[in-house]
Structure 1
Amino acid sequence: MPVQNLFSGDATKPETVAPGLSRKVGAHSDNVMVVEVHFEAGTTAPLHHHIHEQITYVMSGKFEFTVGDKTYIVGAGDSLYKQPNIEHGATCLEAGTLLDVFTPQREDFL
Protein backbone atom coordinates (compact mmCIF):
# COMPACT_ATOMS: atom_id res chain seq x y z
CA MET A 1 0.00 0.00 0.00
CA PRO A 2 1.46 3.44 -0.91
CA VAL A 3 2.25 5.95 1.81
CA GLN A 4 -0.12 8.91 2.04
CA ASN A 5 2.04 11.97 2.70
CA LEU A 6 -0.63 14.68 2.53
CA PHE A 7 -3.81 14.85 4.58
CA SER A 8 -5.70 17.90 3.32
CA GLY A 9 -7.54 19.76 6.07
CA ASP A 10 -10.09 20.93 3.51
CA ALA A 11 -10.87 17.35 2.47
CA THR A 12 -11.26 16.01 6.00
CA LYS A 13 -14.57 16.52 7.78
CA PRO A 14 -14.63 16.83 11.58
CA GLU A 15 -16.02 13.86 13.48
CA THR A 16 -18.36 14.74 16.36
CA VAL A 17 -17.04 12.99 19.47
CA ALA A 18 -19.47 14.45 22.02
CA PRO A 19 -21.70 17.52 22.23
CA GLY A 20 -19.44 20.56 21.74
CA LEU A 21 -16.40 18.43 20.82
CA SER A 22 -15.19 17.37 17.37
CA ARG A 23 -11.90 16.18 15.89
CA LYS A 24 -10.13 15.81 12.57
CA VAL A 25 -7.41 13.20 12.24
CA GLY A 26 -4.50 14.48 10.19
CA ALA A 27 -1.24 12.95 9.05
CA HIS A 28 -0.29 9.73 10.80
CA SER A 29 1.82 6.60 10.66
CA ASP A 30 2.21 3.71 13.07
CA ASN A 31 4.57 5.88 15.14
CA VAL A 32 2.93 9.32 15.24
CA MET A 33 -0.43 11.04 14.70
CA VAL A 34 -1.70 14.62 14.62
CA VAL A 35 -5.31 15.44 15.55
CA GLU A 36 -7.12 18.79 15.44
CA VAL A 37 -9.68 19.04 18.25
CA HIS A 38 -12.44 21.70 18.31
CA PHE A 39 -14.17 22.68 21.56
CA GLU A 40 -17.19 24.86 22.24
CA ALA A 41 -17.01 26.90 25.46
CA GLY A 42 -18.04 24.88 28.50
CA THR A 43 -17.27 21.51 26.93
CA THR A 44 -15.32 19.07 29.07
CA ALA A 45 -13.07 16.22 27.97
CA PRO A 46 -13.36 13.99 31.05
CA LEU A 47 -10.33 12.67 32.92
CA HIS A 48 -8.86 9.68 31.12
CA HIS A 49 -5.53 8.00 30.40
CA HIS A 50 -3.97 5.98 27.59
CA ILE A 51 -0.69 4.31 26.66
CA HIS A 52 0.30 7.08 24.23
CA GLU A 53 2.63 10.01 24.80
CA GLN A 54 0.76 13.20 23.94
CA ILE A 55 1.66 16.80 23.29
CA THR A 56 -1.15 19.34 23.08
CA TYR A 57 -0.62 22.72 21.40
CA VAL A 58 -3.32 25.35 21.99
CA MET A 59 -4.12 26.95 18.64
CA SER A 60 -6.92 29.17 19.98
CA GLY A 61 -9.23 29.55 22.95
CA LYS A 62 -8.66 29.13 26.68
CA PHE A 63 -8.65 25.84 28.58
CA GLU A 64 -8.30 24.46 32.09
CA PHE A 65 -6.21 21.28 31.91
CA THR A 66 -5.66 18.73 34.62
CA VAL A 67 -2.55 16.60 34.13
CA GLY A 68 -1.86 14.22 36.98
CA ASP A 69 -2.29 16.19 40.20
CA LYS A 70 -1.73 19.64 38.61
CA THR A 71 -4.15 22.07 36.99
CA TYR A 72 -3.15 24.66 34.37
CA ILE A 73 -4.98 27.50 32.62
CA VAL A 74 -3.65 27.68 29.06
CA GLY A 75 -4.26 29.75 25.94
CA ALA A 76 -3.10 30.18 22.36
CA GLY A 77 0.58 29.36 21.93
CA ASP A 78 0.83 27.21 25.09
CA SER A 79 1.61 23.50 24.98
CA LEU A 80 1.41 20.59 27.42
CA TYR A 81 3.15 17.22 27.58
CA LYS A 82 1.34 14.13 28.89
CA GLN A 83 3.39 11.03 29.55
CA PRO A 84 1.91 7.56 28.95
CA ASN A 85 -0.86 6.50 31.33
CA ILE A 86 -1.11 9.83 33.20
CA GLU A 87 -4.67 10.85 33.99
CA HIS A 88 -5.63 14.07 32.19
CA GLY A 89 -8.63 16.05 31.00
CA ALA A 90 -9.71 19.54 30.02
CA THR A 91 -12.53 22.04 30.25
CA CYS A 92 -12.89 24.66 27.54
CA LEU A 93 -13.24 28.13 29.06
CA GLU A 94 -13.34 30.01 25.73
CA ALA A 95 -14.14 28.21 22.45
CA GLY A 96 -10.98 27.01 20.78
CA THR A 97 -8.91 24.47 18.92
CA LEU A 98 -6.17 22.16 20.11
CA LEU A 99 -3.58 20.31 18.07
CA ASP A 100 -2.76 16.94 19.66
CA VAL A 101 0.26 14.86 18.68
CA PHE A 102 0.31 11.22 19.79
CA THR A 103 2.99 8.56 19.68
CA PRO A 104 2.30 5.88 18.72
CA GLN A 105 -0.79 6.66 16.64
CA ARG A 106 -4.24 6.31 18.24
CA GLU A 107 -5.61 3.33 16.37
CA ASP A 108 -8.94 3.90 18.15
CA PHE A 109 -9.26 7.23 16.27
CA LEU A 110 -9.03 5.57 12.83
Structure 2
Amino acid sequence: MTVKNYFPANQNALVHVQSGLARKVAAYSDNVMCVEVHFEAGTIAALHSHPHEQITYVISGKFEFQVGEETYVVSAGDSLYKQPDILHGATCLEAGTLLDIFTPHREDFV
Protein backbone atom coordinates (compact mmCIF):
# COMPACT_ATOMS: atom_id res chain seq x y z
CA MET A 1 0.00 0.00 0.00
CA THR A 2 1.26 3.48 -0.85
CA VAL A 3 1.35 5.66 2.25
CA LYS A 4 -1.12 8.51 2.11
CA ASN A 5 -0.96 11.30 4.69
CA TYR A 6 -4.01 13.43 3.90
CA PHE A 7 -7.63 12.32 3.54
CA PRO A 8 -9.88 15.32 2.68
CA ALA A 9 -13.41 14.85 4.03
CA ASN A 10 -14.98 15.80 0.71
CA GLN A 11 -13.16 12.94 -1.01
CA ASN A 12 -14.39 10.24 1.38
CA ALA A 13 -17.85 8.94 0.49
CA LEU A 14 -20.54 8.30 3.08
CA VAL A 15 -21.53 4.65 2.51
CA HIS A 16 -25.03 3.54 3.57
CA VAL A 17 -24.57 0.20 5.31
CA GLN A 18 -28.20 -0.41 6.29
CA SER A 19 -31.27 1.64 7.05
CA GLY A 20 -30.27 4.25 9.65
CA LEU A 21 -26.54 3.43 9.53
CA ALA A 22 -23.82 4.96 7.34
CA ARG A 23 -20.04 5.12 7.57
CA LYS A 24 -17.26 7.23 6.12
CA VAL A 25 -13.71 5.89 6.06
CA ALA A 26 -11.24 8.58 7.07
CA ALA A 27 -7.47 8.16 7.37
CA TYR A 28 -5.93 4.70 7.22
CA SER A 29 -2.79 2.73 6.56
CA ASP A 30 -2.06 -1.00 6.65
CA ASN A 31 -1.88 -0.86 10.45
CA VAL A 32 -4.71 1.44 11.51
CA MET A 33 -8.01 2.88 10.26
CA CYS A 34 -10.32 5.70 11.38
CA VAL A 35 -14.03 5.45 10.50
CA GLU A 36 -16.91 7.87 11.17
CA VAL A 37 -20.17 5.99 11.81
CA HIS A 38 -23.55 7.79 11.69
CA PHE A 39 -26.65 6.32 13.37
CA GLU A 40 -30.30 7.30 13.39
CA ALA A 41 -32.22 6.67 16.63
CA GLY A 42 -33.46 3.10 16.93
CA THR A 43 -30.88 1.63 14.54
CA ILE A 44 -29.33 -1.66 15.61
CA ALA A 45 -25.83 -2.75 14.65
CA ALA A 46 -26.21 -6.53 14.99
CA LEU A 47 -23.91 -8.57 17.18
CA HIS A 48 -20.76 -9.51 15.29
CA SER A 49 -17.05 -10.11 15.75
CA HIS A 50 -13.90 -9.62 13.68
CA PRO A 51 -10.16 -10.21 14.07
CA HIS A 52 -9.39 -6.48 14.46
CA GLU A 53 -8.85 -4.55 17.68
CA GLN A 54 -11.37 -1.70 17.85
CA ILE A 55 -11.76 1.47 19.89
CA THR A 56 -15.05 3.36 19.66
CA TYR A 57 -15.26 7.01 20.72
CA VAL A 58 -18.74 8.56 21.03
CA ILE A 59 -18.81 11.95 19.32
CA SER A 60 -22.55 12.50 19.83
CA GLY A 61 -25.75 10.64 20.65
CA LYS A 62 -26.51 7.87 23.11
CA PHE A 63 -25.95 4.15 22.55
CA GLU A 64 -26.38 0.83 24.30
CA PHE A 65 -23.42 -1.44 23.52
CA GLN A 66 -23.00 -5.10 24.21
CA VAL A 67 -19.33 -6.08 24.41
CA GLY A 68 -18.85 -9.71 25.32
CA GLU A 69 -21.10 -10.43 28.30
CA GLU A 70 -21.31 -6.76 29.40
CA THR A 71 -23.78 -4.02 28.42
CA TYR A 72 -22.90 -0.32 28.55
CA VAL A 73 -24.97 2.82 27.94
CA VAL A 74 -22.61 5.43 26.49
CA SER A 75 -22.83 9.03 25.32
CA ALA A 76 -20.59 11.86 24.03
CA GLY A 77 -17.04 11.60 25.33
CA ASP A 78 -17.27 7.92 26.35
CA SER A 79 -15.18 5.26 24.68
CA LEU A 80 -15.06 1.46 24.42
CA TYR A 81 -12.37 -1.09 23.63
CA LYS A 82 -13.17 -4.33 21.78
CA GLN A 83 -10.47 -6.96 21.64
CA PRO A 84 -10.13 -9.20 18.56
CA ASP A 85 -12.94 -11.71 18.03
CA ILE A 86 -15.15 -10.46 20.89
CA LEU A 87 -18.88 -10.45 20.13
CA HIS A 88 -20.23 -6.88 20.14
CA GLY A 89 -23.09 -4.76 18.81
CA ALA A 90 -25.03 -1.58 19.52
CA THR A 91 -28.47 -0.01 19.62
CA CYS A 92 -28.70 3.72 18.97
CA LEU A 93 -30.87 5.31 21.68
CA GLU A 94 -30.42 8.92 20.45
CA ALA A 95 -29.13 9.77 16.95
CA GLY A 96 -25.39 10.22 16.92
CA THR A 97 -21.95 9.68 15.50
CA LEU A 98 -19.18 7.32 16.55
CA LEU A 99 -15.51 7.35 15.67
CA ASP A 100 -14.15 3.81 15.26
CA ILE A 101 -10.44 3.04 15.19
CA PHE A 102 -9.39 -0.38 13.90
CA THR A 103 -6.05 -2.14 13.86
CA PRO A 104 -5.11 -3.46 11.43
CA HIS A 105 -7.25 -1.61 8.88
CA ARG A 106 -10.52 -3.17 7.68
CA GLU A 107 -9.82 -4.38 4.15
CA ASP A 108 -13.58 -4.89 3.71
CA PHE A 109 -14.15 -1.13 4.24
CA VAL A 110 -11.83 0.09 1.42
Q: Would the TM-score normalized by the shorter structure come out above 0.5?
A: yes
Query: TM-score scaled to structure 1, two decimals?
Result: 0.97
Note the aligned Cα RMSD (angstroms): 1.0
**Match for 1:37: what amino acid?**
V
Are 1:43 and 2:43 an aligned pair? yes
Return 5+ residue gaps in structure 2 as ranges: none
Supply the distance in 1 between the matched residues of 2:8 and 2:66 (Cα, whole angstroms).
Answer: 31
SS in 1 for 2:56: strand
- Deviations along 1:71-107, one digit per CA (max 9) or x if unpaired, are 0000000000000000000000000000000000000
Matched residue, 1:107: 107
Aligned pair count? 110
Question: 1:11 deviation in Å?
Answer: 2.6
Kindly report structure 1 stretches of 4+ aligned residues shifted beyond 2 Å.
Answer: none
- Describe how 1:1-110 pairs up with structure 2 within 5 A: 2-110=2-110
Supply the distance in 2 between the matched residues of 1:54 and 1:45 (Cα, whole angstroms).
Answer: 15
SS in 1 for 2:31: coil
Aligned-pair identity in percent equals 70
Query: TM-score scaled to structure 2, two decimals?
Result: 0.97
